[in-house]
Amino acid sequence: MQIQAASYPEWRRFSKRIVVMKVMVNGRAEHYCTVNYGARGNVVRLIDQRLLPHQFKIVELRSFEQTAAAIRDMTVRGAGAIGATAAYGLAQGLRQFNGNDPFEFDQWTQHVYDTLKSTRPTAVDLVNAMNEVRARMQTGRTVVERKTLAVAAARAFAEEQVKQCRAIGEHGARLIRPGMRILTHCNAGWLAFVDVGSATAPFYVAQERGIKFHVFCDETRPRLQGAALTAWELYQQGISHQVIADNAAGHLMQRGEIDLVIVGSDRVVARTGEVANKIGTYTKAVLAGRHRIPFYVAIPLSTIDWGLPDGGQIPIEERDEEEVLGAWGAADNGRRLWVRTANPGSSARNPAFDVTPPELVTGIITPVGIFKPGELWGKRRKLGIQNAAK
């Protein structure tokens, strides 16, 4: 694996306080967050997830337009990481504003917000993160004060994400017993968040406690986040795992080789408990239900949608058909290339997410405990909503 990683003082200060995940860089284990912000140059820094597992590279984004493009093209992906990137991108965009007129600043704020919001429609963390930033900056009396508050709010969101993921791990680790074989789908690890991850958080806490278990990583077509990202994370962390074809999960369940399923989510509807996640999650939930295998969803609080009435209203992103018609990989010389695998001349459909009904979900692992899907709305005060409508 090729390494390109500069030393950023701001990144290190943030990392030393709350980060637990490490990457081997030049033979040394180094701390990295998936996303960070440099105030001095007004830059958002991301691990380029498109290049993993063959190359580890940090990119610098010097405008909110570049940050929006990075979210859209999946340089960064995953619910929490998208949320933190959008929060930093909003603060970054506000700092690009030149002037002191409050009305013009409000118009510019809406423009930056709308640009970032349009990048990935299914994940709700992105919107919730920016809404937090906008709410906190309103106490500022001047444009300068609001810019400063926006940066502080974005940092606070990112740090809170890590704390919540660690709490998810503490609650979820109770589900993992010695010798268990666990299935996960897509990547809901530290790459998908600022650090630690949601679905992987119980793995890392269980590992810290000395529990031995094995993870099956669905490859997760068409972008192969399970094979490329989750497997890379678990390898870096020294957790026993194997990559399986997406369609192999049912076979392993039928043979009694899977004991537990833990996945992440990009949006959970609070009123109904419906779960939107990477395409193929619904299929795994159906299979788990057929074989009476516990199926859990791990999420931070920012993934909960308190507004939508039901999962039918969730916007499902449809991505470029090229993702289905071929695949990215690395040649023997390390060069990254795309290869067409489908029949020339054929077209494709590429829905990126599906929605799993609550009756197929055993429990929702949150930072404040594990709940049945139907309990979320009734537990809204405990989940951080103080003034929710009835």
94-127 pLDDT, tens digit per residue, is 999 999 999 999 999 999 999 999 999 999 999 9
Q: How far is CA 242 from CA 204, 234, 235, 288, 342, in A?
A: 16, 10, 10, 19, 26
Hey, what long-range contacts does 14-21 have (CB within 8 A, 24 or more apart)?
14/155, 14/158, 14/159, 17/159, 18/159, 18/162, 18/163, 18/195, 19/162, 19/195, 20/166, 20/195, 20/196, 20/204, 21/190, 21/195, 21/196, 21/204, 21/233, 21/236, 21/237
Q: What's this model's pTM, rounded to 2 decimal places? A: 0.93
pLDDT of residue 64: 98
- How far apart CA 371 and CA 332 sit, in angstroms, is 47
Provide the β-strand partners of residue 243.
217
CB-hemisphere CA count at 13 Å for 41?
13
pLDDT of residue 292: 98
Provide the β-strand partners of residue 28.
25
Residues of the chain with pLDDT under 70: 1-20, 386-390
pLDDT of residue 16: 41
pLDDT of residue 346: 98
pLDDT of residue 3: 42
Residue 65: which residues within 8 A CB-CB, separation 6 or more?
A: 115
- How far apart CA 208 and CA 193 sit, in angstroms, is 20
Q: Match 């619910």 to its residue by tokens.
A: 79
Find out whether 269 and 308 touch, Cβ atoms under 8 Å.
Answer: yes
Q: Match 């990295």 to its residue by tokens.
A: 32
Q: DSSP code of 29? A: E
The identity of residue 70, as a single letter, is A
**3-class state of residue 96 by DSSP:** coil
pLDDT of residue 388: 47
Q: What positions carry a catalytic annotation?
A: 266
Domains of the chain: 2-165 (1.20.120.420), 169-379 (3.40.50.10470)
Find out whether 290 and 256 touch, Cβ atoms under 8 Å.
Answer: no
| Run of H or E including 356 | strand 353-356
